[in-house]
Amino acid sequence: MALWIKKRFSSDDNGAATDLMNLGEELLMRFPDQFMIVQERHRGLDTTIWVRLPLPEMRDLFPGFTEGDIGELKTQPTKLVVEEGAYAQAFGSLPLVTQ
């Protein structure tokens, strides 16, 4: 079972999000089928970033993130750092986000 962690970000957290994406790209190259970062959008500009970790000890790389249940998502999240096949396998059965 994959370990998912999450953190809610506001629109003021752009710098932290950039650092997160850079780290995510490095980890995706090492673990293409096991690592991913997706985004759940909320009202306004707030989002929750979800990270699937291949190894529990990688949790320390993501300060402020807490363990989460990805099953809470009711629609497909936005792809941020993810291998296409892994995304389809994880979220393909969820409906698309409608606005």
* 44-88 pLDDT, tens digit each: 778 899 999 999 999 999 999 999 999 988 888 999 999 999 999
Please, what's the largest Cα pairwise distance for the chain? Answer: 37
Domain that holds residue 74: 10-42+69-99
Task: Determine the pLDDT at residue 96.
Answer: 81
Flag whether 54 is in a domain: no
Task: Determine the pLDDT at residue 1.
Answer: 67
Distances (CA, A) of 72 to 32, 44, 77: 24, 20, 11
Domain count, the chain: 1
Flag whether 3 is in a domain: no
Candidate from 3-7, 10-14, 30-34 with smallest mean pLDDT:
10-14
Angle made by CA atoms 19, 23, 28, in degrees to the nearest 5: 145
